[in-house]
Amino acid sequence: MSLSVAKKALRRQLLDRRACLSPAEMACMGRAAQALVIGLELFRSAQTLALYAATRGETDTADIHRAALAAHKSVCYPRVEQERLRFYRVKSRAELVIGRFGILEPGPESHEIAPEDLDLILLPGVAFDQRGFRLGYGRGFYDRFLAESNFSGVKIGMGYTFQMLDCLPVEGHDQPMDLVVTNQTVYSPSAS
C-alpha cells in the first residue's frame, strides 16, 4: 500500500471517529486541551501567536485567543492565498469571515504578519504521532508554509487523545511538531 493510500485510509478512520463525538464531548475536551496550552511557558513568553479557527470537530482555540488578548499578545489566523498560507492579525474572532474552504479566516482589511514574526503556531490535525508528525486533510498548506517560509517559532499540534498514534506514515514533505497537546497531556516528541 502506498503512503498516500495509507494516509487516506487513516484519515477517513479518524475523521469518522471524531464525527462521533457529541458537541458536549468536543467542548469539554477542547477546553482541557486549551487550558494545557495556556499553562505552557511557551505560551506565556510568546508575543505573537498563530491560531486556527476550528472546523469539522477540530480542537477549538477560542479560549487561547481570549487568554492571548488578555495578556496583550498579538493573535493571527491563516488565510489561503494562491495555494499558500499567509497569516493576518485579528483583534476579535468577529473579524473572521468564511473563506474558500468554508473555514473562518481573516478578512481583506486584516494586517499581514511575516512568518518570522510569529513566535508560536498552533496547528490542527486529523492525527499526530509520538515523533511529532501530523496527518492533516491532505492539501499540504501547513507543511508547505513550514518548509518554505522563514518561520522559526514553536509548532504545537492540537488534537484529542484518541488522535495520538504511535507512528504515522510519513512522506518527505511532512513537518514535525515541537509539541502535541491533547485534552489529557502535552507530548514532547523527538522526531526521527
pTM value?
0.92
9 domain-assigned = yes
Total number of domains constituting the chain: 1
Instruction: Give tens-digit pLDDT for 159-192.
Output: 999 999 998 888 888 899 999 999 999 999 864 4
Number of other residues whose CB lies within 10 A of the CB of residue 38: 16
Query: How confident is the model at residue 1, as a pLDDT?
Result: 59
φ, ψ at 44 (rounded to 5°):
-60, -35
25 domain-assigned = yes
48 domain-assigned = yes
Query: How confident is the model at residue 2, as a pLDDT?
Result: 80
- pLDDT value at 93 more than 80: yes
Structural domain span for residue 169: 3-184
Contact (Cβ atoms closer than 8 angstroms) between residue 158 and residue 181 = yes
Which CATH number does the domain housing residue 81 bear? Answer: 3.40.50.10420
